Amino acid sequence: MSVPSDELLSLTLNDSIAIDVLIDTLWFGSITGIVDTVDVSIDTVKKEISALPEDMDGFDFANVEISIDFESGITIPVFLDLTLESSNSNGASETVSISNWNISDSSTVIVPNASTLINVQPDQILAYGSARVGGDGTIGSVTSDEIILGELSVRAPLEFEIGQNALITTDPTLLNENDSDIVPEEIENIVLFVEYDNDFEFGSMITVSMSQDTLDFESGTADLLIDELQIGSTSTGLDSIELNDNRLGLFNQDSIYLRVEIKVIGQEDDNGNPVSSKFLSTDEMHLNIYGRVQYLIDGPDILNSE
């Protein structure tokens, strides 16, 4: 039955009308109400890490804060499940997770145990997870032009826990690449005096080794030039190092390499547990090195020359 648009139609109680409406294009400018749960996957985000210092084994950041600040005008609750995974090229990795964080109530997400992510000295950090929108029976609203923005920030002040095996090692440095003597044979003895003033909350023990083959440094067969010169924390002092014939002769080898190892001595509590040490921008270590040389003079040659 068709109903003309310009005529009236009378219906009885036994009559009925069924209407089918096809809407192929529909936009909502805003929605207000109780929204059923909507799960949204968060694409994996990869962050390359390149600012961490290298060759600092045994140093652990003691006070790291990683947070994500969200900005949103949506009043519907948004619950966040997020996983952060840090890893390095050696295969070490750490993972922390955040579950059911309502960013509508607290827009700043604090990542728990953030220090563990940084202390593996990662090459990269991955972030992935999901968000649940609505579903808790709360009335809220959202408009078509609203979005959720998040900014990740890392705060890592120079405050470290220094382990018993904390070590800073420099790359081998080529000292002499020809066959000329650096130290004349007439010099029998050199005494180096090291005057130091250390502002840092940690001490150090310095070892300098020498070899013609850089592989000797890894195998432990390199010759020792300076063996464990100790400098105390927040202290001043004067020490000396004697270089006799055996040590001076090391300088006159062809293509000699030097490597410096600094064993860092951290603070401990009464029970021997590590205590964090802080670095300040004004902290310095001053070293003043001077020497005394014992030189062999050939007496008979001098008399004959006269």
Q: What is the pLDDT of residues 153-166, one digit of tens each?
A: 777 776 777 777 77
CB contact at 8 A, 94 and 120: yes
CB contact at 8 A, 74 and 148: yes
| Neighbour-count burial of 114, counting CB atoms closer than 10 A to its CB (0-12 exposed, 13-18 middle, 19+ buried) | buried
Q: What percent of the chain has pLDDT over 70?
A: 78
CATH code that applies to domain 166-299? 2.60.120
- Map out the domains of the chain as residue ranges: 39-157, 166-299
Place of tokens 């799960």: 39
Q: What is the pLDDT of residues 25-63, one digit of tens each?
A: 777 677 777 777 778 777 788 878 776 666 566 777 878
What's the whole-number mean pLDDT along residues 276-303? 67
Average pLDDT, the chain: 77
CB contact at 8 A, 127 and 48: no
Nearest to 85 by CA among 111, 53, 58, 50: 111
SS3 260: strand
What's this model's pTM, rounded to 2 decimal places? 0.56
Cα(75)–Cα(171) distance, rounded to whole angstroms? Answer: 56
| Helical spans, DSSP H, in 191-279 | 215-219, 245-249
Classify the C-alpha dihedral 214-216-217-218 as positive or negative. Answer: positive
Model pLDDT, residue 305? 47
Instruction: Give the residue with greater pLDDT, 286 vs 58.
Output: 286
